[in-house]
Chains A and B, each alone.
Chain A
């Protein structure tokens, strides 16, 4: 369901453009999981942002369910983020003025497909039922990450992207949240692409790609 061809991206440097991604090719089928690992600055987060339609590539193509998203304008990429792709951020990016229940339901409502039963299931499975009326600032890091996962999955995206999803959690909480995420993603049949430094997290994905200096390491 995800195809990436010859993806290239540079950022402006002081003298000349600094290449971040150099001709990336990858595929990911529906219901499968993939870990992208690599050192800091290897380009893994940039790749994730390009696939999520958060940024635009210099060259190459990204097809999600057969649609080349590099050809889409801002509004269509926004539509893609609302319904097809879901992103779990390292910093959670919850909306501080909404309570837990509203945060979880938020993306599904934004996409125009709120499913109350599914949201209730997610809330329960993520152990957030007792915290529904709390605000993000009143939650621990692990709880906030669970809300972020719930928010993403509530919209039933076809592709889930996660950027260092356990980066702000201790090992035990991280492992617990990861198990939950894998379980729920598998139930929705979505594909999961995780960017991580963590070898243990990467080890729990079906496939693993290592990025080095903007290229897939052999």
Chain B
């Protein structure tokens, strides 16, 4: 019984391979977009884990110099002899090929095994690692990148090492960094012996430092990944619309077969079991295809994501993707879950299929007024939830729930809105053909509604994200011009060099603006305090978004401070409030400035007051004001007069270009996902139209018989797709703008702490509108051409089969 039943069910796909392709494509696309994004997230998180595991003192106390500078190796020996359990570390940058490599030199004999990746610990015990020329333990990606590097010891690829990091034996690292006999710090690997003298006695030049806050990077980048996940979910939802449409149509077309099978003796439970089995196999196959495509998408996008995370947060993520088994399983799981979700309605209908009901082709499509009412109610409820969350909700999760409710609510209400618009248009139609055209379009709506909802989601996301990116770009560019007012930025290596540089520059430039800062606890979170000179560079350019009268005078006089937007929003610090700074309680806040891209709270204090409060703050960095045409010459002269490293002098345009490049890459990922989502939606329309076309004959044949040519009917089919796409696009504009508002004013503020003024870009909408119309025309073209070329005998069959 099962074999013939299965044979009958599966034979449908052999006779309708296109439908099978549609179903597989939808499911594969949905899985691909979802698992691609998840793969990127998983890879980034794995990199953070590796980075946290990097031996940098995280998780353990360290002993470091009270004053900046290297430590003598002899200290390590003295401490060990005195009963202190410590392990020496030296760390430094090495320019290897095009990328900087951070060398970490360790002593494997005193370092606990768990402090290095497992494979590294095992490798570290070998004589080849310990004896000259030594070895560098690097990640597999770095191993490839350094394949042709010269002047380095042999490299060994080891899993679990962070990108851009190389472990070496202490001696090897000292030699490579040209710092024989020096170390940077000592890791405390256990409690000192009971007889060990206190640190202040045995090594007063050292101080104990607590473990660094592990997971900082993960916390900082959480919102970025949340954005990606949300986009992945949206893409998955768009894909599911296709799957749901394809399953619904495939089931509807086989409704007669199901009924016949039941009439011939296949019981309902077996039929359902066979259908579930069939869907499971399809989901697994399509899921596997989707995961593979997702892997390709992730591989293509990961370098941009890595660059973004590095630029924004300094988080190192390997630019190459490794395939993880859990990722395969999750991808297949989500494909099966998606199919179950998409098929649940159709399966429920089959379970309750009346055996004797007359065959009603497209009965599924003629949604009853009651079902429509339920849909409208659900949409209204979701939109009210979105509204309430917008008004009273707080936090990132509430922001995303609001976003979800808004999008799904808008999608659900779309068919009802379109039906209303078409019925209104029909009232104004005077001629018979427009009347028929509009009535026929309304009749097609239920069959196309899933695809149109998918299109609405894709277009809204495009408009929303596009508006956010462009608003951000416009604001960010202007902000960079304001913030980077100095023509050159110079950083000295030592205090003496800084003094010499300042003296040298004093006669050759218009102004030298010190950039001095200290790290400080600001309202319970890590932050930074900067000293700011009283100079028109700041007073005329600094991007203030809120300020008291005479703000700059008060700051210069040391009576008030400026805070950045993220600190202001987080702690509700606006002009008129006060803030506790180290050494200055209740410092009055006189203004707030925008500070995009900075995850930390920041405070500006007048330079004189800053020097009083923090006299030990380094004074090695400064901005230089000079006529723009003098910049190149001054750089050359600086190079000749001082032996400065390449990074010591940066000109304004370089920083701007770098910042804009980081910024552009930040949004490359979302832009790519935007295009992919829109493509998936266009595919949804194409597949829906093609499948509907096979069921259109009974509706079109009478109109053809009454005197409309096939070519004209085909043109009507294209016009219908264009009309529906245009109406959907019109509906997507307000939805997209609300989405942009939520992203800019809710999500961004919650995630990053700053708010971007929203700007409108109608020219982009026009372009997107044309694109969606072109997609609709392309999608309608194939069924229209088929109709135009359909032999009259096929149309006549409709009448021949009439009872």
Contacts and interface: CB of A to CB of B under 8 A. Distances in A.
A110 B4 contact: yes
A218 to B, nearest CB: 29
A93 B356 contact: no
A104 B415 CA distance: 44
B249 to A, nearest CB: 15
A54 B14 contact: no
A135 B803 contact: no
Interface residues of A, number: 31
A97 B4 contact: no
B7 interface: yes
A93 B265 contact: no
Interface string A133-176: 00100000000000000010000000000000000100000000
Contacts of A49: 356
A101 to B, nearest CB: 12
Interface in A63-95: 74-75, 78-83, 87, 89, 91, 93-95
Mostly, the B contact residues are helix
A112 interface: yes
B263 A81 contact: yes
A55 B357 CA distance: 11
A16 B7 CA distance: 44
Interface string B251-270: 00000110111111111110
Given A95-B11, A97-B257, A135-B15, A110 B264 contact: yes
A98 B11 contact: yes
Contacts, number: 75
A78 B11 contact: no
B4 A106 contact: yes
Interface residues of B, number: 28
A106 B11 contact: no
Nearest to A151: B264
A82 B11 contact: no
Given A93-B259, A93-B260, A78 B266 contact: yes
B264 A81 contact: yes
A111 interface: yes
A106 B16 CA distance: 20
B11 A102 contact: yes
Interface string B317-361: 000000000000000000000000000000000000001100100
Nearest to A83: B265
B12 interface: yes
A8 interface: no
Given A97-B257, A168-B803, A80 B4 contact: no
Contacts of A87: 263-264
Contacts of A74: 267-268
B5 interface: yes
Contact of A55 (B264, B356, B359): B356
Contact of A97 (B5, B12, B262, B268): B12
A109 interface: yes
A179 to B, nearest CB: 24
A123 interface: no
Contacts of B267: 74-75, 78-79
Given A54-B355, A55-B356, A112-B1, A97 B8 contact: yes
13 contacts: A54-B263, A78-B267, A81-B265, A82-B1, A82-B264, A83-B265, A95-B8, A95-B260, A97-B15, A102-B7, A110-B1, A112-B1, A135-B15
Return the 6 tightest CB-CB contacts between A and B, nearest first: A82-B265, A78-B267, A81-B265, A97-B11, A109-B4, A97-B15
